[in-house]
Amino acid sequence: PGTDPPRGQNGVQGKPVRVGTRRSQLARIQTDSVVSMLRELYPDLHFEIAVAMSTTGDKILDTALSKIGEKSLFTKELENALEKNEVDLVVHSLKDLPTSLPPGFTIGAVCKRENPLDAVVFHPKNCGKTLNLLPEKSVIGTSSLRRAAQLKKKFPQLEFRDIRGNLNTRLKKLDEKEDFSAIILAAAGLKRMGWEHRIGQLLGPEDCLYAVGQGALAVEVRAKDQEILNMVSALHDADTVLCCIAERAFMKRLEGGCSVPVAVSTLLKDGQLYLTGAVYSLDGSDSLKETMQTSVNYPQQSEDGPNDDVQHVGVTAKNVPSQAQEAAENLGVELANLLLSKGAKHILSVARQLNDAH
């Protein structure tokens, strides 16, 4: 009860379902993939994609992301459209969504995660190489403090420099100029763009832990819009939901954002959820890393109680056992507390100050 999909000839209560998206090619591809899943699930509904939103993060291209100092760089404009009822749902990369959403919004679906690892794309002249085979002082482009901090420590002979712009722009900068020997991007984005062949090296967790939520798509909706919430909740992938709740809870407890290097890796196996989390100084010289685990092996409870719409770090997932979600959230908080007890706050506040000063 309570989760029957809305029915109607051509939309929810006869209206088309309007989907908001950013203008970038990757954002469009991600939105289209979610809409095609929804069309398959609800053939009677009519979905309309409302494009044309350039967000702050898309417009300010000459400043490092970590310097703009805005938590919801790529999401604010889309949330405004949701708030004004101009769209009914918005598709984001989960890693772009802050761990605390503005009041009135929730993540109504977290889709099955694509490969969450980071990937190295090499300049054509370095084809076939790996990072440790590049000549000394080779310049690597990345806009992420998290990637730079980890890789500086692992590959001290390389130089890391900021590169901004959408995927197309960054690949163009790499290929057409001699400024960079390689750039680091999320494998998931490259795959979705159909550029998997450009991946020269995948960085496993031992080289580079990934960003919270990396590789997963999130569907943001109005928290009170029961019909839309019920409709999109069919897209939830339970394993991805639990991993991402743990990751987001870890980040939230540490109060991490774009401006500090916080990284994670999760594994769900045989009902056990393993979370590895780390914090780094900007140059990677100082770091703390720990792993914890918890059981998330709980049955789905069928009672339709008042706890229906409990959010866990911004996620509403009615069709994932609530005890499992709680366990995942607690795991993230406990792991963050462990790192905080070992001095994570100092590492992060120094990183934040240095980053602000640059």
Q: Distance (Å, rounded) from C-alpha 183 to C-alpha 185?
A: 7
Q: Which amino acid is present at 228?
A: I
Alpha carbon of 82 to those of 19, 87, 107, 312, 328: distances in Å? 9, 5, 12, 21, 28
CA distances from 197 to 27, 122, 210 (A): 20, 11, 21
Angle at 302 between CA 299 and CA 305, to 5 degrees: 120
**Residue 307: strand pairing partners:** none
Place of tokens 């979600």: 325
Is 58 catalytic? The answer is: no
Residue among 62, 88, 96, 237 flagged as catalytic: 96
What gap in Å lies between CA 170 and CA 316, rounded to an integer? Answer: 34
| Contact criterion met (CB below 8 Å) for 217 and 188 | no
Q: Looking at the annotation, which residues are catalytic?
A: 96
